Structure 1
Amino acid sequence: MSLPARLFGVTALLIVAQACVAQELTSPVYRVANDQTAPQPVAGPPVRTASAPAGATRPKGLENSPFNIYEVPGEHPLMPCLRLAKQGLAEIDANIQGYSAILTKQERIDGKVGDPQQLAIKVRHEPFSVYVKFIKPFAGREVLYNSAKSTTKLTAMEGSGLYRRFGKISLPVDGRLAMHGQRYPITMTGVRFLTEELLRIGTEDIKYGECSVEYGVMDIGGRPCTMIKAVHPTPRKNFRFNIARIFIDHELRVPTGYDAYSWPIEAGGQPVLEESYFHTNVVLNPGFTDADFDENNPNLFK
């Protein structure tokens, strides 16, 4: 399943050699030809999303999950995920104005998997705004995006070192400096964006077969979460990943974790990590004001 790992795309503002232990990766040697697409599945009957229809069953592994996840005979394996994502998006829009969290992320960029990064983040949904303070590495680095001020620029400042003397600088959100060392721009941050992408990509994926889905309940950061694992066993041009997993917090009812893996480099090898994003210490609706996303706030960019 192509679950774009877009829980967060933060901004590195300087071209500084990032000291990280990295793994050099190459393209898998046994991939099928890129012009081969997965076969179409047998179309299933329309499914109501409000409640489980007659004949629906609950997948294995969800005995302790609070979510209304069910399968209908003959439908694509991703359909339960799409129904859950639609419900989740509606709940986010109705109930969540913003949140704060500690984000731990790890990404493969230019064939290398970098060291984990840990960041303190604040996200506001309307107007969409993101504030980031790096914990490690690059401790003290700050990044701010406020769509009410600009939809194309962000403000950033280093926490220490030579470039600290330049103070706050404005950068294009998708420019070379802002994207250095990042897979995604800051505008793709957050649980709402992730949920929208699940719907968009999942809607494309159900056009094809070669997909299996597993479910379970796992503790993430000491909190029970429902785990959804989607697997595309055969590399195809229409699939982004071999394996993708999403973790939905039982109490918060939002996806707090996500990771994705590409196909093994060689036959019999292990899937290769592409991206991983996990949120801990999540606080929903902490009562943000405009000052929390104001670059002139004396408590920011100190």
Structure 2
Amino acid sequence: MDFSQLSESLQRDAVWVVFLNVLAQQVGLPVPAVPTLLLAGSLALGSGQLASILAAAIVASVLADWMWYLAGRAFGYRVLSGLCRLSINPGSCVSQTEARFVRWGLGSLVVAKFIPGFSTVAPPIAGALRMRLPGFLLAAATGAALWAGLALITGWLLRDEVQATIGMLDRHAGGALIVAGGVIVVWLGWKLWQKYRFQQLSVVPHITPDELLAAMASGQAPLLLDLRGPAMVAESGPISGATLAEHDRLLDAVGAWPKHQPIVTLCNCPEDAGAILAAHRLLEAGYLSVRPLQGGYAAWLAANG
């Protein structure tokens, strides 16, 4: 479909096009919705049509968020772990986002739509943490209204510029596709570089669950930092002898622990991503012996029967 066909489709069925586009994006498909909202806003004939399009965007967004909320409520941390595994960069572990969500509360749902990736992760976290449904729906609708409303109003205020841009893209569709392809290649290359960099960081020495159990039974047990998020801890319980820690407040969790004493970091992330990143941060802070637990929380459970 070329740009003129997209404009014609929006003129005929703006409400349904926006509804389906926003729904597809919010359920997690790699489909951008902001360009469609900008174009729909530029084509709106008046405030009445803008209101109808905005309502469609809000309903679609809240419907997708509600689906993710129910998934998080039903399956708990497994949904969050699955989302983390889908990330091309496992270093962006869900537990980090979850800690921020818990800190910000309902306000995080209002701003979630403006933070790439967070808009998909926040609703299942809310479900896993058993957030009350009325408050969740209200916050999700408020965030969707601000996000979609801003895009629609911007498109309407800049309607001449948007239409001129669409006309130019339609006349030079081949060049526009090349530029878009170049942007995608650069973005993908950056993400792959991040993944490569994380793989280089992963070389840090690990500790096995059996070695950790032996160390904790000795007279000089290491400080065990549990980096799992609140949803996981609430679902499966705390680890005896461990100190709960957040990535954003890692040094606070260490406290006055001597820098020459050993530390072990543990998470429930693919490839031990969160534990590895935390270990590197502590090593850079001057702690001499910091090792991630090999296999993370799953390996710890297996070692403890």
TM-score tier by shorter-chain length is: under 0.3
Whichever structure has more strand as a proportion of its residues is 1
Which one has the largest radius of gyration? 2
Whichever structure has more helix as a proportion of its residues is 2
TM-score scaled by length of structure 1: 0.26
TM-score scaled by length of structure 2: 0.25
